[in-house]
């Protein structure tokens, strides 16, 4: 199966995600903050990174930027797992290079299915899907801002 890194500061969520993926046969390493995750990811990039946005040290967006700046992002598929659920958050995740954005609380089956899909699809297929999702999130964020102004 795949090597996966989970970067999540909430111990319960980190444990749940790790257990779900280990049960699926994956090799999982988990870290509680962005700084430690970046160090490990630069040392030995996995196939997939599941990344929280709001963490101590480097936040998830900064982790993605660090990986990109160090030339490692192109080797890793990234899935954001965050309580941040506005369309602007989705848009930013996709814009920075994530291939999926799953919101907390999450359905465990949905999480496993998303991970499986990310591991099976080619980078080209994922890039195409990411661009569609980014455009969709942009349009919905425009609607959100219109309705929130009232």
Taking only the tens place, the pLDDT of each residue in 120-143 is: 999 999 999 999 988 888 888 888
How many whole angstroms separate alpha carbon 146 and alpha carbon 108? Answer: 33
CATH number at residue 20: 3.40.50.2300
**Helix residue ranges per DSSP H, 54-107:** 60-69, 87-96
Rounded to whole angstroms, what are the CA distances from 149 to 90, 102, 135? 20, 26, 21
pLDDT of residue 145 exceeding 90, the answer is no
The token pair that represents 113 in the structure block: 């299915």
Per-residue pLDDT tens over the stretch 74-88: 999 999 999 988 888
- Rounded to two decimals, the pTM is 0.90
Q: Whole-number mean pLDDT of the chain?
A: 94
Number of domains in the chain: 1
What domain range is 92 assigned to?
3-148
- Mean pLDDT on 6-13: 97
């Amino acid at each position: 199966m795949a090597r996966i890194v989970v970067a999540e500061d909430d111990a319960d969520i980190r444990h749940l995600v790790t257990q779900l993926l280990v049960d699926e046969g994956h090799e999982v390493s988990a870290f509680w903050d962005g700084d430690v995750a970046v160090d490990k990811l630069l040392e030995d990039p996995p196939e997939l990174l599941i990344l929280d946005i709001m963490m101590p040290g480097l936040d998830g967006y900064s982790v993605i930027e660090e990986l990109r700046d160090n030339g490692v992002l192109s080797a890793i598929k990234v899935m954001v797992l965050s309580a941040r659920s506005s369309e602007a958050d989705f848009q930013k995740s996709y814009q920075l290079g994530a291939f999926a954005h799953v919101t907390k609380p999450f359905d465990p089956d949905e999480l496993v299915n998303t991970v499986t899909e990310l591991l099976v699809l080619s980078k080209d297929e994922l890039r195409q899907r990411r661009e569609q999702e980014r455009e969709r999130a942009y349009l919905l964020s425009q609607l959100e801002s219109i309705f929130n102004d009232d």
